[in-house]
Chains A and B, each alone.
Chain A
């Protein structure tokens, strides 16, 4: 008992120092650790909101066909049914979100380049995929003179010379005739 008393001043000082250190730690921690850190894991909770808060640039197919029902109808059942609008027409988030969509009208894509972008013949492409040597295939004629972009099965009158003769579509085993076009009067207008 006596010894404890003899050293009690040191103990009090030590405990005091420890207390000051602890207080400093708590204060500094509160200052430097950002809000929400560690609530869900080793990261800031607010970061989730920040990442999620950006505005989409692509509107998504659903937004397109909400208004452009005629095009959706054309695409239905065609070879390009699953091709999304924004693949060819580019990102249209601003167009879709605008109060007056006609104000920011999207540009029509460059047909020839666009078709070749996917359908140019390549040894690396899957064999099932329809591909042509664009130079030999049409003899210079524009793609859309035979193929409507939204329903691309060829619309060639029987009397016309078959343009595919020079280089037939690779692996296009007798390209199926327009698979059940829904609208009988299909224009070759994209």
Chain B
């Protein structure tokens, strides 16, 4: 085949375009892998949390484990996860909710049997929304949904403007007083990318908390969603929360 100028430009142009496209596609694919976790591919996972209210005993193990795991300040107003105690008295208009130290030291009994009330614990945490209000308001892109479905915070890039704290309908964010940047539950991203479960699910003695991977067809999460009556918090806000509660009472906000 004779290679005239016209031919050369056609073939060369095609080659140039396709190698460039393939190169950038390859770069895109490789880019998504956290380098510290060999063998972990973000596109293979879509993480979710299962919380079974009917199993929660309010021991506070999750709160303590979480603070230890994620270096959360010990003052009782910084929490990545916390446990609330609901006291629903039919005589009263609103349920009474308390969370002494977030449940860090457990719950000293203060209600009595036979008063006609309904009592239960509700563990709370970042709901890892797929369509999260907090990521939408961040002016600099310092908080985002990762390709594997965890809502993360880029601590180096966070301005500390607090928009996301106001935007989160679940009250899951706080400003770390040491860095003046925002912090929240990131689903123990440093653990789940290494094949471990989250710290709270690791220590939960009754199995009330469990990490699930919606992209893994063999994961228990599918059975859990199929066999239970599942609710998410504030479904009407369309945040596409991925924290699935079993046995959630209508009084819980």
Contact = CB atoms under 8 A, between A and B. Distances in A.
B69 A58 contact: yes
Interface string B171-200: 000000000000000101111011011010
B154 A58 contact: no
B61 interface: yes
B138 to A, nearest CB: 8
Contacts of B207: 82
A60 interface: yes
B191 A56 contact: yes
B28 interface: yes
B57 A55 contact: no
Given A51-B152, A54-B190, A58-B65, A39 B28 contact: yes
A90 B112 CA distance: 32
Contact of B190 (A56, A82, A91, A120): A56
A87 B61 contact: yes
B189 A51 contact: yes
Nearest to A124: B119
Contacts of B204: 84, 87
A58 B199 contact: yes
B68 A58 contact: yes
B55 interface: yes
Contact of A124 (B120, B156, B191): B120
Interface string B39-79: 00010000000000011111111000100110000000000
A23 interface: no
A111 interface: no
A36 B144 CA distance: 14
Interface residues of B, number: 62
Among the interface residues A39, A45, A52, A57, which one has the most CB atoms of the partner chain B within 10 A?
A: A52
Interface string B61-99: 100010011000000000000000111000000000000
A47 interface: yes
B156 A47 contact: yes
Given A48-B42, A91-B65, A34 B157 contact: yes
A48 B205 CA distance: 30
Contacts of A36: 31
Q: Is the interface of A mostly helix, strand, loop or mixed?
A: loop
B168 to A, nearest CB: 17
Contact of B31 (A42, A45, A50, A51): A45
Contact of B141 (A43, A48, A123): A43
A83 B197 CA distance: 14
Contact of B109 (A40, A42, A120): A120
Interface of A: 34, 36-37, 39-45, 47-58, 60-61, 82-84, 86-87, 90-91, 117-118, 120-126, 128-129, 131
Interface of B: 27-28, 31-32, 34-37, 42, 54-61, 65, 68-69, 85-87, 106-107, 109, 111-113, 117, 119-121, 141-147, 152-157, 186, 188-191, 193-194, 196-197, 199, 202-207
17 contacts: A40-B147, A41-B141, A43-B141, A47-B156, A48-B32, A51-B153, A51-B189, A52-B37, A52-B194, A56-B196, A58-B68, A84-B205, A87-B65, A90-B68, A118-B59, A123-B112, A124-B109
